[in-house]
Chain A
Amino acid sequence: MQDLLYFVQQLINGLTIGSAYALIAIGYTMVYGIIGMINFAHGEVYMIGAYTALIAITGLAAFGIAWLPLVLLVALVCAVIVSSAMGWAVERVAYRPVRGRHRLIPLISAIGMSIFLQNYVHLAQGSRNMGFPLLIEGGFRFGAADSFQTSISYMQITIFITTLVCMTALSLFISRSRTGRACRAVSQDLGMSNLLGIDTNKIIAATFVIGAALAAVAGLLLGMYYGSIDPLFGFIAGLKAFTAAVLGGIGSIPGAMLGGIILGISESMTSGYLSGEYKDVVSFGLLILILLFKPTGLLGKPEVEKI
């Protein structure tokens, strides 16, 4: 019984982190799906989302506003607006001018953008860790009081629900809305969509903005869940989310969700049953294995070379 409770606890830990990875991974996978490029500045957009949320929360606290739903809403809205603007700016500055050139060029400009944003936050906010105030406390517990108890904190529940809502909204948007249909068209054939009168520039910018908005949500959630943020924390999270996107099949939205969850669970199970030291070894080992046997990722479609 105790073993089962322990397993469930590690599963919950993994799902929490995994769903946040999935939120960030969407940004990588959508951009890749549409223009076939990796947005290396995406981790920084996520980090800036977390900083904006923290600044908003601190600002509200300074005005004595402590009503939780309002605080969270304001933080979320601020983070989404600033990050979306940042995602849009990254596309305008680092991608659009060099689109259509050799593949390496936008890659390098994105890495440059990432270094710039990281250092900008270093300068503007300082390099020290900043603590998030504890806003959502408490949770449910299961199991006998004298032995191991499985607990789900309200924070973890918040992360699940928010991720679920975001993912459903995104799926509906992509499958039902006009812009969503245009997105799918552009991802299938950019040149043809252009000929058919779709404003591809707008669609590409929209992709960056959607990815950035979801990353900002993840930034707020994970900042609150972990408890502290620093200017470098987008880098590691970006790497993990990128792994998740590749694992699930880059370019595929359900793939990014699945990849994130698998990565999160494999991380928590490794630290839970093996040792935290091997967490990254197992995650990246898993990635290599999947790519060896299924080079397009779990849900990725094999690419047909257009001649």
Chain B
Amino acid sequence: MKTSVKKLVTGISASIALMGTGSALAEIKVGIAGPMTGPVAQYGDMQFSGARMAIERINADGGVMGEQLVAVEVDDVCDPKQAVTVANRLVNDGVRFVIGHLCSSSTQPASDIYEDEGILMVTPASTSPDITERGYELVFRTIGLDSMQGPVAANYLVSLNPERVAVIHDKQQYGEGIATAVRDTLKEAGVEVAMFEGITAGDKDFSSLVTKLRDAGVDYVYYGGYHPELGLILRQARQANLDATFMGPEGVGNKDINTIAGEAAEGLLVTLPPSFDEKAENQALVSAFKEKGEDPSGPFVLTSYAAVQLVAEGIEAAGSIDPFDVAKALRAGTFSTPIGTVEYDDKGDMESFEFVVYEWHSDGSKTPVN
């Protein structure tokens, strides 16, 4: 009896395994992991729309090595715990390539799982340097690092001859990382950093912080974090007559900050990846997005598009769908994508990535300042 049960179990698992390989031959599953819900879901929208478009266009062009790409979309709510859960789900689904995650604090724990399970991950949005610091073989990104973005912001602030600068962050991996880079660069340039302090993400009352900023007499405030908190800080600062210019990273640069901060968002400085959608060579792609009624101007749309494209070209270059071979091909090659020419260093970071300082307006538009 016992042996027959065992046989049965082995038989079933063998047939499941066979079914698995059967479907893998016909198509290549690409996981897309990012926030579909939660407070930063609008960044997820950018990621999903860019990645979907890339998959659609690659499939229309005959796929990768004659096989179609199939998207497996999962929602991590930008929550580290949820990220681990969905990463495991992707593992169980037999996904071998993942585009994601978005928030650095989600990407970090998820990438441990992908590396262990032999899954190649390209994050189109996580800028924390720690992610590629661990010597992982299968982790790549199509975005710059805080250690590149922070100095761009800080150097711009230095060029404005500030008297006193406050640096605030949300204690999360992304926000604190970039705020630290800004503070260090400011200090090197001899600018007085009057405050370096964390707030709690999800908090709503910043009246005490604003009072403190007023008391410190700062003329510039750098905020490392996302727009829901900065929007409220801007609004409460304006109501309390704080006379200072605010600056933030790409995590604050989206139109939702205007619905929260209203008029107070005018004049906010934001470092963003350059507007890839305005480049002449991307116009065909931009009109494809517009035909679908989607907006390609968000900072993560074309980085996500490029991430899918890199996976596809990496597979073609390696001539194999083994993630380790693809990783080698990505490190070896030079790829031309909508975000420019991409070359990878040993860690999986792009050799160069540009950030531009924009001035944000209360109608949600932005103008480059440098």
Hey, which bits of chain A sit against chain B, CB under 8 A? 2, 6, 9-10, 13-14, 16-17, 122, 127-131, 133-134, 137, 139, 141, 148-149, 151, 153, 155, 222, 225-228, 230, 232-233, 236, 267-268, 271-272, 275-277, 279-280
B228: contacting residue among A17, A151, A230, A280, CB under 8 A = A230
In whole Å, how far is B198's beta carbon from the nearest beta carbon of chain A? Answer: 4
Cβ of B261 within 8 Å of any chain A Cβ, yes or no, is: yes
Cβ–Cβ < 8 Å partners of A128 in chain B? 39, 41-42, 256
Chain B interface main SS type: helix
Tell whether B37 is near chain A: CB-to-CB under 8 Å: yes
Q: How far is the CA of A134 from the CA of B231 in the complex (A)?
A: 13
B residues near A, CB below 8 A? 37-39, 41-42, 171, 197-200, 202-205, 207-209, 211-212, 214-215, 228, 231-232, 235-236, 239-241, 256, 258-263
Establish whether residues B232 and A17, one from each chain, have CB atoms under 8 Å apart when the complex forms: no
**Complex contact B232–A226 (CB within 8 A):** yes
Task: Report chain A residues within 8 Å CB of B231.
Answer: 129, 131, 227-228
Beyond A10-B208, A13-B208, A228-B228, is A153–B197 a contact (Cβ under 8 Å)? no
Beyond A6-B215, A267-B208: 6 further Cβ-contacts under 8 Å? Answer: A10-B211, A13-B205, A137-B239, A271-B212, A275-B197, A277-B171
* B211 near A127: Cβ-Cβ < 8 Å: no
Residue of A10, A127, A130, A139 with most chain B CB atoms under a 10 A cut-off: A127
Chain A: CB-nearest residue to B238: A134
Instruction: For the complex, give the distance between the alpha carbons of A139 and B202 in Å.
Output: 27
Nearest CB to that of B171 among chain A residues? A277
Separation of A299 and B307 alpha carbons in the complex (Å): 60
22 A-B pairs within 8 Å (CB atoms) are namely A6-B215, A10-B211, A13-B205, A17-B205, A127-B39, A128-B39, A129-B259, A133-B262, A134-B263, A139-B239, A149-B214, A222-B204, A226-B236, A227-B235, A227-B261, A232-B39, A267-B208, A268-B207, A272-B212, A275-B198, A276-B199, A276-B208
Among residues of B, the one whose C-beta sits closest to the C-beta of A5 is: B215
Chain B residues positioned under 8 Å from A226 (CB to CB): 204-205, 232, 236
In the complex the two chains form, what is the Cα distance from A268 to B212 in whole Å?
A: 10
* Given known A-B contacts A267-B208, A271-B209, A276 and B198 have beta carbons under 8 A apart: yes
Task: Give chain B residues whose Cβ lies under 8 Å from the Cβ of A10.
Answer: 208, 211
Complex alpha-carbon distance, A128 and B35, angstroms: 12
Interface SS of A by simple majority: helix
Please name all residues of chain A whose beta carbon is closer than 8 Å to the beta carbon of B241 when the two chains form the complex. 141, 149, 151
* A134/B262 in contact, CB under 8 A: yes
**Shortest CB distance A141–B (Å):** 8
Distance of A148 Cα from B216 Cα, bound (Å)? 9
Docked Cα-Cα span, A230 to B41, in Å, equals 12
Q: Is the CB of B39 within 8 A of A129?
A: yes
Task: Kindly report which residue of chain A lies nearest to residue B37, judged by CB atoms.
Answer: A127
Q: Are A233 and B211 in contact (CB under 8 A)?
A: no
Please, how many angstroms separate the alpha-carbon atoms of A236 and B203 in the complex? 8
B198 contacts which chain A residues (CB < 8 A)? 275-277
A151 to B, closest residue via Cβ: B240
Q: Which one of A141, A268, A280 has the highest number of Cβ atoms from chain B below 10 Å of its Cβ?
A: A268
Query: A280 touches which one: B200, B208, B263 (CB < 8 A)?
Result: B200
Q: Tell me which of A17, A225, A226, A268 has the highest count of chain B C-beta atoms within 10 A of its own C-beta.
A: A226
Are B202 and A129 closer than 8 Å at their CB atoms?
A: no
Q: Which A residues touch B41, using CB under 8 A?
A: 127-128
**Bound Cα distance from A128 to B226, whole angstroms:** 13
Task: Pick the most buried of B42, B198, B204: most chain A CB atoms within 10 A of its CB.
Answer: B204
* B204 with A228: CB separation less than 8 A: yes
Contact between chains at A277 and B199 (CB < 8 Å): yes
Pairwise interchain contact A122-B204, C-beta atoms closer than 8 A? no
A2-B198 Cα distance, complex, nearest whole Å:
25
Q: In this complex, which of B41, B240, B260, B261 has the most chain A Cβ atoms within 10 angstroms of its Cβ?
A: B260
Q: Which residues of A contact B39 (CB under 8 A)?
A: 127-129, 230, 232
Q: Which residues of B contact A16 (CB under 8 A)?
A: 207
Is the beta-carbon distance between B208 and A271 smaller than 8 angstroms? yes
- Residues in chain A near residue B214, CB distance under 8 A: 148-149
B207 touches A277 (CB 8 A): no
Q: Whole-angstrom distance between the alpha carbons of A130 and B232 in the complex?
A: 11
- Of chain B, the residue at the smallest CB distance from A225 is B205
Chain A residues positioned under 8 Å from B199 (CB to CB):
276-277
User: A137: which B residues are within 8 A, CB to CB?
Assistant: 239
A272 vs B263: C-alpha distance in the bound complex, in angstroms?
26
Among candidates A148, A155, A227, residue contacting B232 with C-beta atoms closer than 8 Å: A227
- In the bound complex, how far is the Cα of B353 from the Cα of A271, in angstroms? 37
Q: How far is the CA of A17 from the CA of B207 in the complex (A)?
A: 9
Bound together, the chains give a CA A122 to CA B235 distance in angstroms of 24
Check if B239 sits within 8 Å of A155, measured CB to CB: yes
Q: Give the one of B211, B231, B256, B262 with max A CB within 10 A.
A: B211
| A153 pairs with B262, CB closer than 8 A | no
Assembled-state Cα–Cα distance A284/B51 (Å): 44
Minimal beta-carbon separation of B139 from chain A (angstroms): 28
A151 to chain B, nearest CB (A): 6
- CB of B204 within 8 A of CB of A233, answer yes
Say which residue of A122, A236, A280 sits within 8 Å of B37 (CB atoms): A122
